[in-house]
Amino acid sequence: MHPGAHLGAGEEAGLERIVASIDRVLAGLPKIKTRIALETTAGQGSCLGSKSEHLAYIISRVREPERLCVCLDTAHVFAAGYDISSESSIRKTFREFDRVIGRDRLVAIHLNDSKTARGSRVDRHEHIGKGRIGLDAFRFIMRDRRFRKIPKVLVASPRCNQRALTHSVILSGAKRSRRNPAILP
């Protein structure tokens, strides 16, 4: 879930309201050990969740922090200002994520390229390889052993065609086979 926006009340007040809301939801589900995945945001307008520190603040202040985890959206973190356009910049960004939030909290990655520039704070997804992040970054994320067990979701538009999906599968290094006949050589 996107954490929410402060709507002019300021970051701290907005974060506290998010904490209170999450506590209320989780208190209503005491026997169901549901986990909530906070999704990173681009920081558009007064949206919170564009900084690792926002998510860490929320996690550290809820009554049941063990029930919170994080979903990282590549287009969102790029638009928020994190450089993930190369292998070295991805390593740096994830070192910071691990230090501030903890890699053990990362449960999913939404794979999207970005139509807008790094730091634009504008949430506009683009097909992988067609945007500002670049194909090499996605190839690295798909093949790096640290991300191997983390589910990755390709967030595609309704207009996404088979070729775009095939292109995305290629990033993973998958080979053409009877099970994957659409994968190009």
pLDDT in tens, 83-120: 999 999 999 999 999 999 999 999 999 999 999 999 99
Decide if 49 is inside a domain.
yes
Residue 70 φ then ψ, to 5°:
-130, 140
Decide if 126 is inside a domain.
yes
Decide if 52 is inside a domain.
yes
Decide if 176 is inside a domain.
no
Q: What is the mean pLDDT of residues 65-91?
A: 97
pLDDT in tens, 129-182: 889 999 999 999 999 999 999 999 887 666 666 656 665 565 655 555 555 444
CATH at 26: 3.20.20.150
- The residues, any chain, with a CB within 8 Å of residue 59's CB and separated by 6 or more, are 38, 65, 68, 101, 105
How many folded domains does the chain comprise? 1
Decide if 183 is inside a domain.
no
E-state strands within 4-67: 4-5, 36-39, 47-48
Q: What is the largest CA-CA distance in the chain?
A: 56
Decide if 124 is inside a domain.
yes
Q: Which domain holds residue 31?
A: 4-171
Decide if 181 is inside a domain.
no
pLDDT in tens, 1-21: 999 999 999 999 999 999 999
pTM of the model: 0.86
Decide if 180 is inside a domain.
no
